[in-house]
Structure 1
Amino acid sequence: MHEAIHTIRLAKREDLEKVIGLLVNTAGWLQTKGTKQWNYYLTDLEGNVDEIVTSIENKATYIVEKEGGAIATRTLESSPNEWDMDIWGEEAEDDVAYLHRLAVHRDFAGKRIGADLLDWAEIQMKTRGKKSIRFDCIASNEGLNRYYQERYRLREVIDIHGRHCKYEILLGENPV
């Protein structure tokens, strides 16, 4: 049994620094694991803030809080952004949701928060009539790919913006 429930709510513009803090925390940890996933949050944060702001304004970014502190974030876009169009190509569709920036502060890792956010995303998108949830991660991030493959089928590995693994959660089907 995991810890008691946390507050999950839509992120607001004033939460931008909290969301960025979570992403930078996760990026720093990823770097210690030898992966370049999310390095741009460490090397070019300024150049990547607009995308985060847009997701907040689109009401696609959620923040998880515990006792007033931000402990996790997740973005679930209702339509493909520029990145998704590149990764999914002609398959990019509006009846699919696109998962981005799932991050749990390292102080709260191992407490099923990420898994709960993925479960909640599935319920949320089924309710909204989406047929699936798509996401990707850098192929060299072995730990994250192993984590995803415990739950979901690896759809394919592509070489766009470097090697990326593509995943799709078909809503209504059971995980692997």
Structure 2
Amino acid sequence: MDSEEPPNVRVACSGDIDEVVRLMHDAAAWMSAKGTPAWDVARIDRTFAETFVLRSELLVASCSDGIVGCCTLSAEDPEFWPDALKGEAAYLHKLAVRRTHAGRGVSSALIEACRHAARTQGCAKLRLDCHPNLRGLYERLGLALLQKS
């Protein structure tokens, strides 16, 4: 990916599943090695990704190098936001970027696509839950801390 080539963000299809699962596993391993525990990779498998693909809730960022980033965007999140009103927010999870493309605007493109999708769905907010070590990234991308748990 040239530094000038912006990633194309789209809803994932079934043909993306294997690459997305590898990307999420690689991202989780990198985060763990840096001291930021990530999601449980044992739960990230074809079935996990397929569930999000079938609901059109898995986004991928791609360029000439293939898929370079991904995330999920859901209409509800009973695990982390059980008391939220339905439709007040969209919920971003599992943001992952291929290490060779870190710092090239992939996270920014994914988050902007999530913001746009949330607005399109009538949601005023885009929410996520993250490890404290990742707060700086999300704040640099224009998100704000709502509460500490």
Whether these two folds match at TM > 0.5 is yes
Q: Is the 8 A contact 2:89 2:124 kept in 1?
A: yes
Q: Please report how far the alpha carbon of residue 138 of structure 1 lies from its aligned counterpart in structure 2 after TM superposition.
A: 2.3
Gaps of 5+ in 1: 159-176
Q: Please report how far the alpha carbon of residue 6 of structure 1 lies from its aligned counterpart in structure 2 after TM superposition.
A: 2.8
Q: Is the 8 A contact 1:76 1:121 kept in 2?
A: yes
Among 42, 52, 57, the alignment partner of 1:55 is: 52
Gaps of 5+ in 2: none
Deviations 1:84-128 (A, max 9, x none): 213112125234211111111000001111012112221232233
Q: TM-score scaled to structure 2, two decimals?
A: 0.86
Q: Is the 8 A contact 1:71 1:108 kept in 2?
A: yes
Q: Is the 8 A contact 1:85 1:92 kept in 2?
A: no
- Other-structure match for 2:64: 67
Bigger CA radius of gyration: 1
Greater relative contact order (Cα < 8 A, sep 6+)? 2
Q: Please report how far the alpha carbon of residue 68 of structure 1 lies from its aligned counterpart in structure 2 after TM superposition.
A: 5.2
CA distance in 1, matches of 2:13, 2:55: 10
- Other-structure match for 2:103: 110
Number of aligned residue pairs: give it: 145
3-state SS of the aligned residue for 1:21?
helix
Counterpart residue type for residue 51 of structure 1: F
- Other-structure match for 1:9: 10
CA distance in 1, matches of 2:120, 2:80: 25
Counterpart residue type for residue 64 of structure 2: E
Q: Which is strand-richer, 1 or 2?
A: 1
3-state SS of the aligned residue for 2:82?
helix
